[in-house]
Amino acid sequence: MKKFGLIVIGGGSGLKVSSKAAEHGLKVAVIEKGPLGGTCLNRGCIPSKILLHTADIAETINGSGKFGINSKITKIRFSEIIKRASNIVDKEAKEIEQAIISDKNTTLYKTGAKFIGNKLVKVGNETITAKKIVIAAGTRPFAPPIPGLKEAGYITSDEALRLKKQPKTMTIIGGGYIGCELAHFFGSLGTKVTILEFIDGLLANEDSEISKKFTEIFSKKHSVCTGYKASKVEKSNVKYVVYAERDGKIKKIVSDELLVAVGRIPNTDTLNATASGIKTSKRGYIEVNDFMETNVKGIWALGDIAGKWFFKHSANLEAECVYNNIFSKKKRVNYEAMPHAIFTSPQIAGVGMREQDLQEKKIPCSKGYCNYKSTGMGQALQEKDGFVKILADKKGKILGCHIIGPDASALIQEVVVAMKAGSGTVQDIINSVHPHPALTEAVQRAALNVE
C-alpha cells in the first residue's frame, strides 16, 4: 500500500490544493478518471459560454433590423461551432494533465476512486492512503424517474455540448439555468425549442421579479410550458414523444432531440464515501463545517459535492480555504457577497438575498430600481425589458441586488465590491463616478432610487 502526504479526489478546483501542496514538497496523489480541469472546463462553464457567445452573435444578426440594418444568417456550420468549443477545452485539459504528470511530487491516477476503509482509497488495482484527504469529486446530471425515459434515451448537458448534428426540434425537461442556457444556444441557431418546467416560472431560484420577467421574455422566443410535469416518454421511430400533464390535461410534444436538465446529484455514491465513515446528507452531499472539514479528522470536502454553493468561483474560494486550513492558519470560509450569473438572453445576475427571502424572514427593506431604457446606453441598445433592482435596509446597507438585461454578469460586480470590500451600503455606489453614457449608470441610479 502506497502512502502519500495528501490525496486529492477530483481534477477540478481540488487541483488548487494539490498544486500548492506539491510546490511545498508534499507527495501528492491526484485521482481523476475523466479529463483534467473538472466539470467547469470540460462539461460546464467554459464550453457552454463559448457556445453561448455564438448564440449571442446569431441573435444580434437576427435583431439587426431594429437598428436599420438588414441582415440574415445564410448558414449555420453547427459541427464547426461545436468543434471549436471542444478543441479549446480539450487542449487546456491536456495541458493540465501534462503539467501534473511532469510534476515530480504529484502522482496522477487516471481512474475512479473508491473508499474501502478509513482513509483507504482503491484506485484501479492499487490501494493508497494519506493522513490528509481532500474530496472534490463534484456532481453529475440527474435523470428523474419518468416512465419510459430510460428506454427512449435522452441527452444531458454533457452530451448537448458535444452534439455533432443540430436538431430541428428539441424538448428540454427543466427550466433552471442549465436548461435555459442551452435553450438560448440551440434556439438562437434555429432549433425550435420547447421547455417543460414543473414550477410556474423559469429560473425559479432567482428573485421572483427576475424570474417572472425572464419567463415573460423567454416565452416570446420559445415554447415555454410552465406548470407541466413530464409524465411519460416514448420513442417513435427517430422522434421523441414527451407527454406532459397539467391539471389533468395532457400535452403531447414531439421532437428530434430530448434534453434532460433537472439538476445534478453528488458523486458520493460512486466514491463509497461512507466506507471511510464520512457523513452525508439525505441528498448525498458530504456534510462539512465552516472550515470545510468532514466529521472524519483529516478529510475535507469542497465544491459541488459539499453542497454549499454550486459555482466554480465558490469552489475556488473553498479550495483556497481548505489549503490554508490544512497547511496554514485555520479560518472559516467567507461566502459573503457570493455572486452568480446566468448567460441566457437576457442575461441574469444576482448577489445577496432575494426579495422573497426577506419577506419570508420578515426583514424590512427598501427597493431601488432603474430600467435600462432610462439610461443613455439603454436607449442606444433599444433595451426595453432590462432593469437593476437593489434591496437595502433602512440604513442603506445592501441586502441584495438582482439584474436582468445585457451585460448583467459584468454589472453585478460593482455591487459585489461594495458589499465585500466597501462599506456595504448604497453610498459606495452613489458616491462613485460612473462613465457616461454606460450601463453602469443603471446600477448607480438604482442605488439612488433606494427609498
Lookup: cell for 38? 473538472
Q: What is the pLDDT of residues 233-259, one digit of tens each?
A: 999 889 999 999 999 899 999 999 999
Contact between 352 and 337 (Cβ < 8 Å): yes
253 SS3 class: strand
Pick the CATH number of 340-448 from 3.50.50.60, 3.90.1300.10, 3.40.50.300, 3.30.390.30: 3.30.390.30
Q: How many CA atoms lie within 13 A of 230 on its CB side?
A: 29
- pLDDT tens track, the chain, 451 positions: 899 999 999 999 999 999 999 999 999 999 999 999 999 899 899 999 999 999 999 999 999 999 999 999 999 999 999 999 999 999 999 999 999 999 999 999 999 999 999 999 999 999 999 999 999 999 999 999 999 999 999 999 999 999 999 999 999 999 999 999 999 999 999 999 999 999 999 999 999 999 999 999 999 999 999 999 999 999 988 999 999 999 989 999 999 999 999 999 999 999 999 899 999 999 999 999 999 999 999 999 999 999 999 999 999 999 999 999 998 888 999 999 999 999 999 999 999 999 999 999 999 999 999 999 999 999 999 999 999 999 999 999 999 999 999 999 999 999 999 999 999 999 999 999 999 999 999 999 999 999 8
d(CA 172, CA 187): 11
pTM, two decimal places = 0.95
Contact between 85 and 50 (Cβ < 8 Å): yes
Strands (DSSP E) found in 161-306: 169-173, 192-197, 223-226, 229-236, 239-246, 249-255, 257-260, 264-266, 299-301
| Sheet-wide strand order for 340-342 | 340-342, 348-352, 398-404, 387-392, 366-371
| Sole residue written with cell 506539491 | 22
Please name every residue paired with 109 in a beta bridge, in sequence order, or none if there are none: 31
Contact between 24 and 104 (Cβ < 8 Å): no
Enclosing H/E stretch for 89: helix 78-102
Q: Which amino acid is at 211?
A: S
Superfamily for domain range 149-262: FAD/NAD(P)-binding domain (3.50.50.60)
Considering only CA atoms, which of 263, 342, 326 is closest in space to residue 135? 326
Is 313 known to be catalytic? no
413 SS3 class: helix
Considering only CA atoms, which of 96, 118, 116, 99 is closest in space to residue 34? 96
Q: What are the residue ranges of CATH 3.50.50.60 in the chain?
A: 2-141+265-327, 149-262
Sequence-distant (≥ 6) Cβ neighbours of residue 159 within 8 angstroms: none
CATH of domain 2-141+265-327: 3.50.50.60
Q: What are the residue ranges of CATH 3.30.390.30 in the chain?
A: 340-448
